[in-house]
Amino acid sequence: MTDIPAPPTAPTPASTPEPKPNSFSRIIGVLFSPDETFDSIARRPDWVVPLVLIMIIALGVGATIAQRTDFAAPAREAMEQQKNVPPERMEMALKWSTMIGKFVSYASPILSAVIFLIIAGVLLLVCRLFGGEGGFEQAFSATVYAWIPQSIKALIMLAILLARGGIISAVDLATIVRSNPAFLVSMKTNPLLFALLTNVDLFGIWTLILFIIAFAHVARVSKGKSAAIMISARLIVLLFGLIGPGIQSLRK
């Protein structure tokens, strides 16, 4: 009996590779369609373009703040409330406050990159401890893109500083963009409430939401678990940030 040859099988089409990501499209996508965008970032992470853009904005804002801000004002007000502060001690404290403020302002682009590395590493480690997956490059890329709302706030601050002109106190930087209710209270009379209200910020909440979405895709966990991790981490940072203002309030 003659074997009947099997009909030729159609060739399996090769899987179409995902196109190279467009960083600028991703920046827009993070703002308007974050779920789909972070899913793409988790598959093919990139970070050079958004990081450079954030660093350029940080440099412009930092240089403007360094030239337009009286960094010594908070220290001067604090020491004026104390009694018997030697003039030489006050002069030295004011000098160091100004030096540190200017250094941090001009170094803000480098400091931003270092902070992103720390945030990405810590959040990825916590996600992995709670059963998540993902690699550091994915976490770093997601962190940089999730920071875009903060850069938008920085641009608004830059516009306000340039339009206002003159010298402002370092305390006013927290409320120069009216995206939080801290401008309703006085830093001098209620430092703890002031510090707490600065953290109830529209851009900060927007950023937190993006981090939740981003690490849900990067770590391949549910959005509920990602939210629990991100909100817990934010609360820990907040509590540490309230230690100083809390001590000031107790002294008052």
Could you tell me the pLDDT band of residue 1, with boundaries at 50, 70 and 90? Answer: very low
Q: Which range, of 44-58, 80-94, 144-158, averages the lowest pLDDT?
A: 80-94
The domain locations on the chain are: 34-251
What does the block give as tokens for 196?
């707490």
Host H or E run for residue 69: strand 69-70
- If one counts every other C-beta atom within 10 angstroms of the C-beta of residue 125, the result is 13
Contact criterion met (CB below 8 Å) for 218 and 134: yes
Tell me 190's DSSP state.
-
Q: Where in 142-193 does DSSP place strands (E)?
A: 168-169
Residue 31 has pLDDT above 80, yes or no: yes
Stated length of the chain: 252
pLDDT at 46: 96
Helix (H, G, I), strand (E, B), or coil: what is residue 251? helix
Mean pLDDT of the chain: 89
Q: What is the pLDDT of residues 61-120, one digit of tens each?
A: 999 999 999 888 777 777 766 667 777 777 888 889 889 999 999 999 999 999 999 999
Contact criterion met (CB below 8 Å) for 212 and 227: yes
Tell me 84's DSSP state.
S
Q: Which range, of 17-31, 94-108, 134-148, 170-184, averages the lowest pLDDT?
A: 17-31
